[in-house]
Amino acid sequence: MTNLLMARTILAYGHPILRQAARAVGTLNGDLQQLIDDLIETMYAAPGVGLAANQVGSLQRVFVANPSEDHDPSKLLVMINPELVASDGEIVAEEGCLSIPDFREEVRRARRVLVRGLDRSGHPIEVEGEDLLARILQHELDHLNGVLFVDRLSPAKRDILLRKLKKAFPRR
């Protein structure tokens, strides 16, 4: 899934970094700001609605998201050291992943979530998400914890999908 316009290459299913938990960011420096810019550029070029740092090979606890179809800059979300602090309800909807291109499955998630972290300037922020935004927040938090959406499937669905993934990503 490489696009020449992308700032960074998105790691594909089977890469070991995708299964590692990201480390908390300690210092907001120029390298972190460059990573954030690269994540945004890569997410939009993919195109996707969210991207976690470990998907591009960085084990820093950072993700970007934008649930708007037109990449509305006012909807862009940058979260550093995000943590899920509350969730409510339940919804099942189709979900995909930039690291697992061309595969989508129904995934059960919380309908509403509250996530706390820092914005790109280091200011504390709280984001309340519902439906699509809640799904994106949970998906990206999972990435930062080394969890993929396939891990959220029922055992039977997961087994079927994993067999398909082994064929699609044979070197993994």
Number of CB atoms found within 10 A of residue 131's CB: 14
Query: Does the pLDDT at position 170 exceed 80?
Result: no
pLDDT, mean over the chain: 93
pLDDT at 69: 86
The pLDDT score that the predictor gives to residue 33 is: 96
Q: What pLDDT is recorded for position 8? A: 93
| CATH architecture, range 16-168 | Alpha-Beta Complex (3.90)
pLDDT for 6 equals: 63
pLDDT for position 150: 92
* Distance, CA of 38 to CA of 32 (rounded, Å): 10
Give yes or no for residue 147 having a pLDDT over 90.
Answer: yes
Query: What per-residue confidence (pLDDT) applies to 5?
Result: 52
Judged on CB neighbours under 10 Å (0-12, 13-18, 19+), 2 is: exposed
Per-residue pLDDT tens digits for 66-114: 999 888 999 999 999 999 999 999 999 999 999 998 899 999 999 999 9
Does pLDDT of 2 surpass 80?
no
Q: Distance between CA atoms of 144 and 68, rounded to whole angstroms?
A: 22
**Residue 131 pLDDT greater than 60, yes or no:** yes
Please choose, from the candidates 16, 20, 168, the residue with its C-alpha nearest in 3D space to the C-alpha of residue 103: 168
Tell me: pLDDT of 59 over 90: yes
> What pLDDT is attached to residue 53?
98
Residue 7 or 9, more confident: 9
- Per-residue pLDDT, 1: 43
Tell whether the model's pLDDT for residue 4 goes beyond 60.
Answer: no
Tokens of residue 83, six digits: 């943590």
User: In which band, very low, low, confident or very high, does the pLDDT at 168 lie, cut at 50, 70 and 90?
Assistant: confident
Which stretches within the chain are classed as H helix? 30-45, 132-144, 155-168
User: Does the annotation count 94 as an active-site position?
Assistant: no
Is residue 117 predicted with pLDDT exceeding 60?
yes
Parse the chain into domains and list their residue ranges: 16-168
